[in-house]
Copies of this chain bind each other. A is one copy, B any other.
């Protein structure tokens, strides 16, 4: 997971591919700045396309919707997570939840782009203020969970296909991630990736207790 990691994934095949990637990056970066400055509703897609000097048609060949550009950073992480789930060796004996947690931490470790932390924070802040963006992010997360569930069913021994436990474990992971992300985004300054994984570990540690905490009424014996 050092700088050499980038080299291994770097061999971009054709010039075409590289150009495509470059406009994609430009669109994400400019979109985050533009929407942060003028608000998600305050800037139109035409504005964005003008800024990047790309036609609207091209935009929609790269992203599915206006929300999609902004959510790209988080979605990249979820995509890395599903890849980890696919490839990670399963050491029997451990809990399912631990396996999922390790996979997520590994996925975060793969977000080596130095712009990633800042982008995620801009993205989450925008989502917090804009329901349609938030909805889009939640939908992608849910979709990832379903894909992951299929992977688990394939790689692990799960007798009953209707067993709720794997699904619940995945949702717990997503919940922990959401909480960690929210805490991390609220931190002052420019917290880095390690600070995020620290938040993640805190959330993971709290999971077992979340089932057993007792409910104590406020100002009563």
- A contacts, CB < 8 Å to B: 90, 92-99, 131, 134-136, 138-139, 142-143, 154-157, 162-169, 171-172, 174-176, 178-179, 183, 202-203, 206-218, 220
Q: Kindly identify which residue among B134, B169, B174, B206 contacts A213, using a CB–CB cutoff of 8 Å.
A: B169
A165 nearest in chain B by CB position? B210
- From known contacts A92-B220, A134-B139, A175-B172, infer whether A215 and B165 are also in contact, taking CB-CB under 8 Å: no
Residues of B within 8 A of A211 (CB): 95, 97, 169, 172, 207-208, 211
- A175–B178 CA distance with the chains assembled, in angstroms: 14
- From known contacts A171-B171, A176-B168, A178-B171, infer whether A213 and B138 are also in contact, taking CB-CB under 8 Å: no
Q: In the complex the two chains form, is A156's CB within 8 Å of B216's CB?
A: yes
Can you pick out 5 interface pairs between chain A and chain B where the beta carbons lie within 8 Å of each other? A95-B211, A95-B213, A157-B216, A166-B210, A172-B211
Q: In the complex the two chains form, is B138's CB within 8 Å of A92's CB?
A: no
A203 nearest in chain B by CB position? B164
Q: Interface on chain A toward B: helix, strand, loop, or mixed SS? A: helix
Residues of B within 8 A of A92 (CB): 214-217, 220
A186 nearest in chain B by CB position? B162
Q: Kindly identify which residue among B96, B175, B178, B212 contacts A214, using a CB–CB cutoff of 8 Å.
A: B96
- A183–B168 CA distance with the chains assembled, in angstroms: 14
Beyond A95-B214, A135-B135, 17 additional pairs, beta carbon < 8 A = A94-B214, A95-B211, A95-B213, A96-B215, A97-B213, A98-B215, A99-B215, A134-B139, A157-B217, A157-B218, A165-B209, A168-B176, A168-B179, A169-B213, A171-B172, A171-B174, A172-B172
- A99–B211 CA distance with the chains assembled, in angstroms: 11
- A131–B214 CA distance with the chains assembled, in angstroms: 37
Q: In the complex the two chains form, is B164's CB within 8 Å of A179's CB?
A: yes
Q: In the complex the two chains form, is B156's CB within 8 Å of A218's CB?
A: yes
- From known contacts A135-B136, A138-B139, A211-B208, infer whether A218 and B168 are also in contact, taking CB-CB under 8 Å: no
